[in-house]
């Protein structure tokens, strides 16, 4: 079983909510990524979303867009990101890693080459922000062959009918974008998330993780009442961005400090 499916099934069985964290590979210094990934696992993170930097990150708010710029300035590439995952797998074989990024670096590498190399590195899933299901079929074929889950986004604007067709193509989990906006936006509306998720549950049995706009224990907890997992990104990237002159251990420590109350908040929901 793919690590993503296994981990989310395990969390469900244990009656707890999954914590998904996003950092940008190579940000703010290349040496920080691996150390931070291991520290996040220690802090109770279930799934790591590793951002692959792109020159034109259209869906990102200012915080994560700056993270992409810093990572690119550090010469981070899709290849070097996969190398970090490979290094992570040397000592961790259980925590799922999802690469999250944009279509063009994957296009440039080639779908087949990407799928083969990502699988070899120990990548479990891919979330391509600008590759909706309509354009994803050729990549899906290669991902399937390589055993990599294709994680699709659902949005507040997605109709039930459309959600149904996306759910059929998706695997691993569905990523529900909690608001109309970019990452890190501040206008999360919990009631609308509740309503939408209740519709989605009628459509799919896939686990649903919710992201965009979750920035502390209370928003995570509010979302966690309805979702299988909460995704936290901008909060971490913001703090990391201010620590470019510090050691990987200090950066990882700061991330753990931010994560701990969120983990605790989610665990208070445990049934």
Partner 1 sequence: MSDIEKKAAVDYSQFPDAQGHFGPYGGRFVSETLMPALDELEKMYTRLKNDPEFQKEFDYDLAHYVGRPSPLYHAERWSRELGGAQIYLKREDLNHTGAHKVNNTIGQALLAKYSGKSRIIAETGAGQHGVASATVAARLGLKCEVYMGAEDVQRQSLNVYRMKLLGATVHPVESGSRTLKDAMNEAMRDWVTNVDDTFYIIGTVAGPHPYPQLVRDFQCVIGREAREQCLKQAGKLPDALVACVGGGSNAIGLFHPFLEDEGVKIYGVEAGGYGVETGKHAAPLNDGIPGVLHGNRTYLMEDEDGQIIETHSVSAGLDYPGVGPEHAWLKDIGRAEYVAINDDEAMAAFRTLTQVEGIMPALESSHALAYAEKLAKTMDKDQIIVVNLSGRGDKDILTVAAIDGIEV
Q: Which of 10, 31, 42, 60 is catalytic?
A: 60
Residues 6+ apart with CB under 8 A from 79: 109, 117
Q: Which of 10, 42, 49, 135 is catalytic?
A: 49
Query: Toward partner 1, which CB reaches closer, 39 or 163?
Result: 163
Q: How many residues bind partner 1 (CB under 8 A)?
A: 43
Q: How far apart are CA 220 and CA 231, in angstroms?
A: 8
User: Minimum distance from CB of 75 to partner 1 (Å)?
Assistant: 9
Can you say whether the dihedral through the CA atoms of 178, 184, 187, 191 is positive or negative?
A: positive
Give catalytic status of residue 49 as yes or no: yes
Query: Toward partner 1, which CB reaches closer, 60 or 142?
Result: 60
Query: Toward partner 1, which CB reaches closer, 37 or 66?
Result: 66
Q: How far apart are CA 129 and CA 164, in angstroms?
A: 19
What track of x and - describes contact with partner 1 for positions 173 through 202 (by CB under 8 A)? ----x--xxx--x-----------------
End-to-end CA distance of the chain: 25
251 by DSSP, 3-state: which?
Answer: helix
Helix axes 111-121, 133-146, angle to 10 degrees: 50
Interaction site with partner 1 (CB under 8 A): 54-61, 65, 69, 72, 77-79, 102-109, 129-132, 134-135, 152-159, 162, 166, 177, 180-182, 185
């Amino acid at each position: 079983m793919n690590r993503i499916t296994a981990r989310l099934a395990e969390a469900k069985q244990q009656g707890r909510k999954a914590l998904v964290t996003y950092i940008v590979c190579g940000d703010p210094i290349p040496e920080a990524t691996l150390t931070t990934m291991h520290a996040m696992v220690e802090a109770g993170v279930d799934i790591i979303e590793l951002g692959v930097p792109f020159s034109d990150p259209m869906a990102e708010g200012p915080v994560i867009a700056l993270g992409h710029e810093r990572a690119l300035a550090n010469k981070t590439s899709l290849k070097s990101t996969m190398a970090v995952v490979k290094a992570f797998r040397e000592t961790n074989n259980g925590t799922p890693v999802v690469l999250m990024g944009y279509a063009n670096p994957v296009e440039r590498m080639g779908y087949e080459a990407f799928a083969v190399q990502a699988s070899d590195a120990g990548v479990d899933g891919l979330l391509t922000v600008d590759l909706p299901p309509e354009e994803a079929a050729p990549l899906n074929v290669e991902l399937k062959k390589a055993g990599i889950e294709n994680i699709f986004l659902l949005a507040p604007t997605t109709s039930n009918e459309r959600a149904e067709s996306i759910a059929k193509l998706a695997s691993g989990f569905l990523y529900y974008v909690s608001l109309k906006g970019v990452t890190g936006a501040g206008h999360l509306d919990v009631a609308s998330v509740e309503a939408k998720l209740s519709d989605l549950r009628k459509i799919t049995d896939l686990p649903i993780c919710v992201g965009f706009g979750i920035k502390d224990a209370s928003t995570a907890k509010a979302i966690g009442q309805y979702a299988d997992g909460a995704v936290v990104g901008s909060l971490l990237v913001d703090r990391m961005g201010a620590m470019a002159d510090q050691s990987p251990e200090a950066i990882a420590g700061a991330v753990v400090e931010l994560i701990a109350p969120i983990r605790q908040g989610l665990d208070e929901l445990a049934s």
